[in-house]
Amino acid sequence: MEINSWHETGHVPVTILQLKGDLTSEDELVQKAQAAFQDGARNIVLDLSHVPYISSAGLRAIHMVYMLLRSADPVDEEQAARGIARDTYKSPHLKLVKPTKNGLKALSTAGYDIFLDIFDTNPQAVASFK
Amino acid sequence: MEINSWHETGHVPVTILQLKGDLTSEDELVQKAQAAFQDGARNIVLDLSHVPYISSAGLRAIHMVYMLLRSADPVDEEQAARGIARDTYKSPHLKLVKPTKNGLKALSTAGYDIFLDIFDTNPQAVASFK
Amino acid sequence: MKSLTLRYSGATVRDLNDIREFLESAILNLGGDENIAGDLVLAANEAVTNSLLHGYGDQPGAVSLCVETEGEDLLVRLLDSAPPFDPTTVPPPDINRPLEERPLGGLGVHMMRQLTDELVYRATDDNRNELTFIKRGVLSPVQ
Amino acid sequence: MKSLTLRYSGATVRDLNDIREFLESAILNLGGDENIAGDLVLAANEAVTNSLLHGYGDQPGAVSLCVETEGEDLLVRLLDSAPPFDPTTVPPPDINRPLEERPLGGLGVHMMRQLTDELVYRATDDNRNELTFIKRGVLSPVQ
Ligand SMILES: Nc1ncnc2c1ncn2[C@@H]1O[C@H](COP(=O)(O)OP(=O)(O)O)[C@@H](O)[C@H]1O
Ligand SMILES: Nc1ncnc2c1ncn2[C@@H]1O[C@H](COP(=O)(O)OP(=O)(O)O)[C@@H](O)[C@H]1O
């Protein structure tokens, strides 16, 4: 797994993590996200367009990145509680871009596609952060 | 196995049989050669440049084509007897072009490379017939 | 019937890449399409990972993967010699609960179930674990 | 140790193409180079052909091909359930005689011998023919 990262600014600053290769272990992605978080990143796009397979370990990594970003936003927590009740909650801090067919399969077997917005392109994902 | 055939004329008329695919059964090549022979072909070039593998069945087919051409030339028979004794005999009627690495391996395990001239190109093979 | 088998005497998680590639090409070779291959690779990848990490405790262990056809069905069999474990007894996670309320992990067996038509466990006569992933009616009858 | 196996319950000569492709890719996958692959594919192709034509009399028959590593050696094993036959007993042809004096055919076993370092026959406990093609010292020690 290779991970490239860079910053873009829409309404707010956004960090893009572009993954290349199978996402089948949690370490690399979690470490990269933690490093970005320590550098101040609060909004992350995971570009999954070059990830042939995502395993349950990969899903766990995405889960951890989600929790990490959420931990820094008390407002999100409260909104989540209300939003989830109405089935409309999507994470405001973590967005996904263009998972492959098999990647999407993994995400949806786990129900992650319900709580995470998925976009076709990085610019669309960046623009969606408020 | 796909076999294309066409005619060229050097010092004498020559029929080129260009083989494509593994030469691992005798039927196709033998049939094609017999048809050419019935149409009057007496000199044949086997272009082996597109033949990944030659099996013992393929060697048997080459052997049969050799015998077929030889059967029509009584002079060859007599020359062969003398030539073979001196270790210099090569078939005057059947020439091979550019066998692949694995093709050449098969030909040489069987000792066919001793009795059949091998050329790099079709024009060279055509020009070699007297 | 035709089958393709990959066997390791001492596999580790570093072999998982290779295993996924083998499965993908074997499934396509036996007449499965890319969709079927994707599902079975994802499912089997989870099982092998569990066998290596939970079964063998992250030590090199014997595993073999066999892709085979049975009429119009496509099967992947995983055999290992780790302590007996039947993953079909693992209760399903609640995937409708929000992420913050869910435990990390516990999705592997769920993925195996979701991505196959049937998941069959048995202990073999020589005491190995055999886990079979079945996709039904996915091959053309001519096969 | 790692191995790759292709198994048929009823193979015919129409499967030979597929068998050669399997052997080639399995040998490369296990660390053999193209030269070694070429030799072993040619040799094993002869053996499978004989097994199907002479052993099973051109009727569909069970064959399995296993490519495996043993230290620095690369092995291909052919197993069939045809009547017992030990090809290593076939006398070598005289390949120095001119073509017109040679019988047609009779080169298959010769090719098997020439293209491998060792050719080993044994009847298995369950009465199958097992023919093993060995290339010695062709893998890097790290393998
Ligand atoms: N082969 C195995 N041997 C022993 N225990 C296993 C095996 N496979 C799974 N388990 C147990 O079942 C649990 C659930 O597995 P799984 O759904 O794959 O989730 P995860 O591996 O992420 O915990 C594991 O945590 C483990 O305790
Ligand atoms: N599997 C087999 N079962 C029975 N007889 C065999 C088998 N393989 C080879 N033979 C016998 O050995 C002979 C020599 O085989 P081979 O060297 O491959 O040449 P060819 O097949 O061209 O005759 C065959 O003609 C056949 O009589």
d(CA C79, CA C59): 16
D116 in ligand 2 pocket by Cβ < 6 Å?
Answer: no
Q: Judge whether residue C125 has pLDDT over 70.
A: yes
- Own/partner contacts of A77-81, CB < 8 Å, gap of 24 or more, are A77/C100, A80/C98, A80/C100
**Tokens found for residue C131:** 């886990």
Of D96, C15, C26, give the one whose Cα is nearest residue B111: D96
Domains and CATH numbers, chain B: 2-128 (3.30.750.24)
Chain A positions touching C114 (Cβ under 8 A) are: 109
Q: What is the pLDDT, as a whole number, of residue D95?
A: 86
Q: Judge whether residue D96 has pLDDT over 90.
A: no
Chain D positions touching B111 (Cβ under 8 A) are: 95-96
| Cβ-Cβ contacts under 8 Å for B92 (sequence gap 6 or more) | B73, B76, B79, B129, B130
Residue range C21-35: mean pLDDT, rounded: 96
- Phi, then psi, of C119 in degrees rounded to 5: -125, 115
The single-letter code of the amino acid at C66 is C
- Phi, then psi, of D115 in degrees rounded to 5: -95, 0
Residue range C92-115: mean pLDDT, rounded: 91
ipTM above 0.90, yes or no: no
Say yes or no: D2 contacts chain C, CB-CB below 8 A. Answer: yes
Residue of C9, C16, C68 for testing the chain D interface, max D β-carbons within 10 Å: C9
pTM: 0.87
Q: What is the pLDDT, as a whole number, of residue C89?
A: 96
> Of the ranges B87-101, C4-18, C124-138, D48-62, which one carries the lowest mean pLDDT score?
B87-101
Residue range D124-138: mean pLDDT, rounded: 97
Asked if residues D134 and D117 have their Cβ atoms less than 8 Å apart, the reply is yes
Q: What is the pLDDT, as a whole number, of residue D28?
A: 96
Say yes or no: C54 contacts chain A, CB-CB below 8 A. Answer: no
C-alpha distances out from residue B128 to B17, B65, B104, B122, Å: 16, 18, 20, 10
- Of all residues in chain C, what percent carry a pLDDT higher than 70? 99
Average pLDDT of chain B, as a whole number: 92
Of C112, C135, C139, C122, give the one whose Cα is nearest residue C44: C112
Chain B positions touching D34 (Cβ under 8 A) are: 101
d(CA A3, CA A44): 13
CB contact under 8 A, C105 and A22: no
State which ligand 1 atom lies nearest to the alpha carbon of C108. Answer: 18
CB contact under 8 A, C108 and A56: yes
Helix (H), strand (E) at residue B114: helix B112-115
- Is C in contact with D (3 or more beta carbon pairs below 8 Å)? yes
- Phi, then psi, of A28 in degrees rounded to 5: -60, -50
Q: Judge whether residue D105 has pLDDT over 70.
A: yes
C-alpha distances out from residue C65 to A77, C131, C132, Å: 44, 10, 10
d(CA D72, CA D78): 20
Q: According to CATH, what is the number of the domain C3-135?
A: 3.30.565.10
Asked if residues B69 and B44 have their Cβ atoms less than 8 Å apart, the reply is yes
Q: For chain D, which residues make up each domain, given as ranges?
A: 3-135
Bigger pLDDT: C105 vs C89: C89
Q: DSSP state, C140?
A: -
d(CA B99, CA B48): 5
| Cβ-Cβ contacts under 8 Å for B48 (sequence gap 6 or more) | B19, B23, B54, B96, B97, B98, B99, B100, B103
- Phi, then psi, of D75 in degrees rounded to 5: -125, 140
Distance from CA of D4 to the nearest CA of B (A): 22
d(CA A57, CA C8): 22
